[in-house]
Each structure stands twice: as structure tokens, then as C-alpha cells.
Structure 1
Amino acid sequence: MILDKIVAVKRQEAEILRNYYIENNYRAELRQALPVRNFYQNLKEHSRTYKLAIIAEVKKASPSKGIIREDFNPTEIANEYAESDVAAISVLTDTEFFKGDFKYLQQIRKHVQLPLLCKDFIISPYQVIHARLHGADAILLIAKILEKEDLMGLYQFATDLGMDCLIEIHDGLDLEKALSIEAKIIGINNRNLDTFETDIKNTEKWLKHIPEQIITISESGIHNAADSKQVNEYGANGILVGESLMRSKSISEKVKELRLEE
């Protein structure tokens, strides 16, 4: 399974980061890190201002689709997102499978004021430190690849650093983990991480079991206004979108379409 391969690579990367940060005074670095912007609050405000808050993704490639955007300039894309008034920007930092990079976080942080989500397969606190030091304000935690205790530990560790967490679920077991740690933001992934197939109805299936006070984000498989309308009717507060924005000739127009602006 591709997910098993990804997690195996992440274990190796996490060990390298562990060795690096143990040898270096990461606590001193963290004290000098840039202030955290409020990812959660931005999502909340945008979900009230618009029908859907948008987390717009800077995404060059994926294992299932290959290269998505050839003319890939992370900073230019992020600036277009900011000009389109999205709620936050998701930055893929996995190199081997998604052609992302932590330097993209650094570059984007210098040019936009929006909160940044580090989108990666995080299994270690040293990855959280790395994300924080590269400008991330929030991290993605995928319930499927973490035991409940590990999910709780990483959630608390990130929270202690002032960061927000988007807890990603796909099924009932994932949801149980997310609710047990009292997650403030839950993303329902419409993509099965084993088969990489998408079904937007997965949002409907699990959203009804999530308390109203939790910010809910529908992820994957959202390509047009009809998809947005569907998840909006299910009750989602927002959407996380990458591929359809990356393939669009006009990011600003696509944002308006997906946000269901009249």
C-alpha cells in the first residue's frame, strides 16, 4: 500500500530530524521563531463571512495524479490565494511522494500574512518542531496513521507550541480518535488513503456524527461549484482544495466558484 510506503519514509525522516534537533538547541530556535497566526480563528471567521471557508493548497504533485502543475511557483500561487481572500494556505512539504518542500513554507511565510498549514504525514514531535521553525501556524495530523495516544501526544505538543491542528479522519475509528482528544478542527477526507479513490459522500456520512461546535472541513474530490454546494448542504464549515485550484487558469475565479459566491 502507498500509505505504508509513505509512513516508512516518514519514520526515516523523523529519525534524521530527531538526531539533528537533539544535537542543536531547538528550544532556543523556537524562542526566536516567528509569531503564530490563528488558523482556527481565521477558519471560524471565514465560515461566517462566506458559505464555505477555503483552505487553499500549494500542491505540485500527488502519487495518484503525478505532476499537477508544471509552472509551479509556490510564492506566486500563495500570493494569488491571499489576494483571493482564502482563509488559510495549506503547503505540502513531503518531497518524495508529493514533490513538496519545507522551504516552500519559509518562502510563503515571507510573502503572505495568512495562516499556513503544514501538510505532511506527521508521526513525530520533531516534525512538528521542523514545521514550526519553517513558518507553519498549524499542522495536519492524520488519525489513520497514528494510535490514539500518539495522536493525543502530537496534538498536545503542537498546542503547547501555540499551533493549531487539523485532525484528518476517513472513517468511524478515525472519528473516535479525533473526538477523544477534543479536536477543535476535523477534516473529513473523501479520499481513501489505501486505494486513493474519492467519494464526496464520505463527508455526509461522518459529518452528522461531529458536534456542531467543531469546525469541519471537507477534503479531496472537490472540483466545482456543484461539489462545494453538496458539502455545504451536508453542513461543512469549509473545504480544503488543491488540485482543482492548481489546474485552474484563474485561481481567483476558481476560488469564487468553490466558495459559492453569487
Structure 2
Amino acid sequence: MSVLDDIVAGVRLDLARREAETPLHELRAMLADVAPALDPMPHFRAAGSSVIAEVKRSSPSKGHLADIPEPADLAAAYARGGAGAISVLTEERRFKGSLADLRAVRARVDVPILRKDFIFSTYQLVEARAAGADLVLLMASVVTDQSELRRLHDEAGELGLTVLLEVHDEEEVARAADLGAQLVGVNARNLKTLEVDTSTFSRLAPLVPDTAVKVAESGIFSPDDVNGYVDEGARVVLVGEALVKDGDPEQGVRSMTGLTGRGTGAEA
């Protein structure tokens, strides 16, 4: 069993518990009290780099990263730094996240929020929106059936959620293009081995349709890294570890936001 398979198996167990506690029809009823989803795409399509800053306590590859007793405080610092969106890990076992973290962040900030999890069901989409998420992650490596991926992609849109469609190889890029995905994340981390290959973005980005906004994920620790990805076509970078370990997350986001290419150091 790969690392990804093991993570998804745990997610299925935790999901079954939540479904037993709150049936889908009750979850859907909660949507009536949720404010309309925020649209991150204007910010993502603007000139210069946008940052999706992540609330991330732990990871399978690095283990414990940071104590985050108040995720809303961290999210507020990200927002002050100009984050285009805030990603909240909600997977419980390997990333030590929760939907409670997402709800706390939603109550504090008015920027778009991404639910970062291993999503493969309608229930997860509905609970994301009910908790206040504006975006959801769909991973081609998790939802391997294309008709099922299309169904989830379309259902997310019907709920008002923007989909970040994550890909890792050429075949997954082709699947994202087939869906007409507008926000495509190229993850440099192989989720089966956890190894990072930063050349993954330069290899796959040219295959992503120009109609989509390209997001670089993993291997980003400095403005210089952001510049490199921007040079290769990224408009958005998703950054977690570097920011949660930084003593000044607000400035960390600010330093990576608005960059227009290697060597310029310019902010839009």
C-alpha cells in the first residue's frame, strides 16, 4: 500500500463516522445559513504571483511542522500579508487538521478559503461548503475514474465551490484539460513516495491549457522559488511548510506575493 493509499483509507474511516453522526440531508440543510462562496479567480488571474497560504500542522513527509493552537490567528496574519486564499488542512490523521480549523478561519478572515483534503465524495463537498469553504481540492490521483472526477467537479461548481484540480503527471494533466478545469495545481511531490521533484512543474505546465490558471505546489521556500515558478508559467503558488515555520508569516506571504519573474524582485 502506498502512502497515498494509506492516507485515503484513513480518510474513508473518518468520513464514515461523520456521515453516521450527520446524514447528508441534514448537512445540506445547513447550506441555507452559509454566506455565498467567495470567488478567488479575479485575484488569481491578476498580474503577478498570488499566494495560497496554508494552515498546516503536520505532514506525512516531515511529521510535526508547527504548533498552531489558534489557526484563525495564523490565517489573519496570512490575510494581512496579502494572501489570495488560505488553505486549511482538514485531514485528521497525517496532517492533524479538522473542519473545526476551517470554521474558525472562516469566522476570522474574509478572503477565500480552500478545504485541503482527500476528497472523493459528494458528502465531503457539501460539508466543505457548509463549513464555509470557497474552494476545494480534487486530486486526479485520488479520484482515478474520469466520469466520477467530472461528477465531483460539476457538483462542486453547483455548490458554488471553485475547484483546484491537482495533477502529478501527463495523464492527469490531460484529464484536467478534458474537464475544462480553470484552476490546475501541479504538485511537485509524488504522493506515493513523498519525494519532491521541482522539475515537475516545468515539464507539465506547458501541457496545461492557457485558459486555466496554473498553481505550483510543493518545494516553495523563498521568493526566489516563487520567481522560478512564475517564469515557468505559474500565477499562483501554494505554500505551507515555509510559512508555518516562519517566525513572521505575514511578511512571509508578503515577500512571495506580486512577484513577476526571476531577478525582478518586483511587487505588483
Which interval holds the TM-score relative to the shorter structure?
Answer: over 0.9
> In the alignment, what sits opposite 1:98?
95
Q: Deviations over 1:162-182 (max 9, x none)?
A: 110000000011112111111
> In the alignment, what sits opposite 1:232?
230
Take 1:11 and 1:249, find their aligned partners in 2: how far apart are those partners?
35
> In the alignment, what sits opposite 1:144?
141
Deviates more, 1:167-176 or 1:249-258: 249-258
Q: Deviations over 1:140-161 (max 9, x none)?
A: 0010111211111111111100
Take 2:21 and 2:179, find their aligned partners in 1: how far apart are those partners?
29
Please state if 1:158 is matched with 2:156: yes
Deviates more, 1:235-244 or 1:8-17: 8-17
Take 1:27 and 1:245, find their aligned partners in 2: how far apart are those partners?
34
Structure 1 unaligned spans of 5+: none
- When residues 218 and 23 of structure 1 are mapped into structure 2, their CA distance, relative to the original with a 3 A threshold, is closer
Deviates more, 1:158-167 or 1:145-154: 145-154
Take 1:112 and 1:54, find their aligned partners in 2: how far apart are those partners?
15
Structure 2 unaligned spans of 5+: 260-264
Q: Is the 8 A contact 2:24 2:123 kept in 1?
A: no
> In the alignment, what sits opposite 1:35?
36
> In the alignment, what sits opposite 1:11?
12
**1:95-244 alignment to 2 at 5 Å?**
95-146=92-143, 147-244=145-242
Which residue of 27, 40, 54 corresponds with 1:57? 54
**Equivalent residue letter for 2:124:** Q
Length-normalised TM-score, structure 2: 0.92
Take 1:23 and 1:183, find their aligned partners in 2: how far apart are those partners?
26
Q: 3-state SS of the aligned residue for 2:23?
A: helix
Take 1:70 and 1:8, find their aligned partners in 2: how far apart are those partners?
26
Take 2:24 and 2:193, find their aligned partners in 1: how far apart are those partners?
39
Take 2:225 and 2:37, find their aligned partners in 1: how far apart are those partners?
32
Take 2:99 and 2:68, find their aligned partners in 1: how far apart are those partners?
19
How much has 1:24 moved relative to structure 2?
A: 4.6
Take 1:61 and 1:102, find their aligned partners in 2: how far apart are those partners?
15
How much has 1:68 moved relative to structure 2?
A: 0.6
Q: Is the 8 A contact 2:82 2:254 kept in 1?
A: no
**1:82-93 alignment to 2 at 5 Å?**
82-93=79-90
Q: Is the 8 A contact 2:79 2:250 kept in 1?
A: no
User: What value does the CA root-mean-square deviation take over the aligned residues?
Assistant: 1.5
Q: 3-state SS of the aligned residue for 2:67?
A: coil
Aligned residues: 258
- When residues 252 and 29 of structure 1 are mapped into structure 2, their CA distance, relative to the original with a 3 A threshold, is closer
How much has 1:224 moved relative to structure 2?
A: 1.1
Displacement over 6 Å in runs of 4+? none
Q: Is the 8 A contact 1:168 1:187 kept in 2?
A: yes
Q: 3-state SS of the aligned residue for 1:144?
A: coil
> In the alignment, what sits opposite 2:244?
246
Aligned residues with identical type, % of pairs = 34
How much has 1:13 moved relative to structure 2?
A: 2.9
Q: 3-state SS of the aligned residue for 2:16?
A: helix
Take 1:70 and 1:32, find their aligned partners in 2: how far apart are those partners?
32
Q: 3-state SS of the aligned residue for 2:184?
A: strand
Q: Is the 8 A contact 2:28 2:126 kept in 1?
A: no
**Equivalent residue letter for 1:250:** D
**1:41-80 alignment to 2 at 5 Å?**
41-45=42-46, 48=47, 51-80=48-77
- When residues 95 and 197 of structure 1 are mapped into structure 2, their CA distance, relative to the original with a 3 A threshold, is same
Deviates more, 1:82-91 or 1:64-73: 64-73
Q: 3-state SS of the aligned residue for 2:225?
A: helix
Deviates more, 1:62-71 or 1:167-176: 62-71
Take 1:130 and 1:229, find their aligned partners in 2: how far apart are those partners?
35
How much has 1:258 moved relative to structure 2?
A: 2.2
Q: Deviations over 1:58-87 (max 9, x none)?
A: 111111111111254201100001111110
Q: Is the 8 A contact 1:60 1:72 kept in 2?
A: no
How much has 1:23 moved relative to structure 2?
A: 6.6
